[in-house]
Structure 1
Amino acid sequence: MRMQGRAMYAVLTTGLVALVAGGCTGVPAPGPTTTSTTTTDATPPSTPTPSGSPKADVVAPPERPAEMSDPSAAGAAAAASYFFALYPYVFASGDLAEWSALSSDTCEYCQNVRKSVEDQTARGVVGSGAEVTVESAEGIEVTPGETYAADLVVTQAPSFEMTRDGERVPDGDGGRFQIHVALGWESGWVVRAIDAARA
């Protein structure tokens, strides 16, 4: 199925057609004894605006936060923020290595983004825009050393596709979103599920 746009909320309501494609299920609710939280602010780097050929722009991946090395609430917030910073990068570059390394096989959202990037590559286009700014990120420790969650508020810029002919085609309006991310620590972070709603 061809993507209809890459706004975060759209996939929750239309299936394989946007950033939160289908939304993952099974997001764990923090238990009543959860007390460890952290709030961070992060602004991922912008994706350059295409200037011609869809292969002409050099796109740098976002920098992995040092906090991601720890299985903690702060680490969960950093991992979730980094995961969403990767979103415009994977569409602009087609490079899914880091995205796949952080994605659980059971996360529908993660796998649907991967399929959308692969579809875009097969059609000979690249993504532009869709830059994500994390306004706030709160990490939650559910089971120490194993299960975590993160609640994010993010804004997403409008997205575009660059065709083989250099045409810039609107692909999504963007917006402001509240996102819940379920994560696990398995000798490193794994995103297990994502749910989102317009803020």
Structure 2
Amino acid sequence: MIRTSARSAVPAARLGALGLAAILVLGGCSGDGGEPGAEAAENSSSSPTASESPTESASPSATPTPTAAAYKPATAEGPAENVPLPVMPDVAKEESKEGLIAFGDYWFSLLNYGYETGDASPVKELSTPECQLCEFYYVDLEEGYENDDWILGGKINITSSGTQFEKTPNGRYQLLLSVQQEAGANRGPNGVSYGESSGSQSSTAQIMEATYTPDGWVVNLVENM
């Protein structure tokens, strides 16, 4: 059944941080360095010794493979470092039941990325101004990261999600989720602690409403049920 009415969004506690592993695959290619002359081609049936091999064909020194800076989660001593930005899976770009569920997972991973980095722009790009919980989120980030402060812990876990994938009268799709929040805290330099949350022992039911546009999914509403 489509939920046709939505009450005011309930401000969530500090939503937390989620570090996602990023794999960077570096591919190499080797060129085909042919023999430098016709005579060498004629004698290709016998393997040349090291002294017979032309110096031009010597293997070049291997170029060191650049490595990404290591991810470090936040601690009581400092904020997270080198947090990789979550990558949207291809299925999350589809206007389908599976696409909406995957998009919901991705959107929440961006929430967690923002809490770990203080960067709200990825969520803003995929959310409309009418999303009230999003506005609380932006304020949380601004306050949580001012004066070199940071947010520690509070990871959001989606325990289940599902959708009937039917449009509401205003053209939106609804996604129902159960989420749990781990313990978290607001920290500052020199051991300052502004407050802590014990997290949630049980799941909280939430609803997301999203619209599919020519550019993909965009979130209109997220709130507790």
Normalised TM-score (structure 1) = 0.69
- Distance in 1, Cα, partners of 2:140 & 2:76: 23
Q: What one-letter code is carried by the residue in structure 1 that aligns with 2:217?
A: W
Of 7, 29, 48, which residue of structure 1 is paired with 2:73? 48
Cα gap change, 1:194/1:119 in structure 2, threshold over 3 Å: closer, same or farther? same
Of 189, 193, 198, which residue of structure 1 is paired with 2:221? 193
Larger relative strand fraction: 1
2:204 is matched with 177
Contact 1:85 1:131 in 2 (8 A): no
2:116 is matched with 92
- Distance in 2, Cα, partners of 1:174 & 1:45: 20
1:103 is matched with 127
Cα gap change, 1:151/1:171 in structure 2, threshold over 3 Å: closer, same or farther? same
Cα gap change, 1:181/1:107 in structure 2, threshold over 3 Å: closer, same or farther? same
Q: State percent identity of aligned pairs.
A: 21
- Distance in 2, Cα, partners of 1:82 & 1:132: 12
Cα gap change, 1:90/1:49 in structure 2, threshold over 3 Å: closer, same or farther? same
Cα gap change, 1:167/1:19 in structure 2, threshold over 3 Å: closer, same or farther? closer
- Distance in 1, Cα, partners of 2:83 & 2:194: 19
Largest Rg, 1 or 2: 2
Structure 2 residue runs without a partner (length 5+): 1-8, 22-71
Of 111, 114, 129, which residue of structure 1 is paired with 2:138? 114
Secondary structure of the 1:142 match is coil
Alignment partner of 1:128 is 2:152: yes
CA offsets 1:11-41 (integer angstroms, 9 cap, x no match) = 72xx5x6358xxxxxxxxxxxxxxxxxxxxx
- Distance in 2, Cα, partners of 1:99 & 1:80: 12
- Distance in 2, Cα, partners of 1:157 & 1:93: 17
- Give aligned pairs, total: 160
Secondary structure of the 1:90 match is helix
Task: Identify which of structures 1 and 2 has the higher relative contact order when contacts are C-alpha pairs closer than 8 Å and 6+ apart.
Answer: 1
- Distance in 1, Cα, partners of 2:99 & 2:139: 27
Q: What one-letter code is carried by the residue in structure 2 that aligns with 1:196?
A: N
- The within-5 A match list for 1:127-146 is 127-143=151-167, 146=171
Secondary structure of the 1:57 match is coil
Structure 1 residue runs without a partner (length 5+): 1-10, 21-42
Deviation at residue 166 of structure 1 after TM alignment: 4.1
Contact 1:155 1:177 in 2 (8 A): yes
Contact 2:118 2:142 in 1 (8 A): yes
Secondary structure of the 2:186 match is strand
- The within-5 A match list for 1:132-171 is 132-143=156-167, 146-171=171-196
Q: What one-letter code is carried by the residue in structure 2 that aligns with 1:189?
A: W
CA offsets 1:110-169 (integer angstroms, 9 cap, x no match) = 11101210122224311121112211111332239x521111112210111220224455
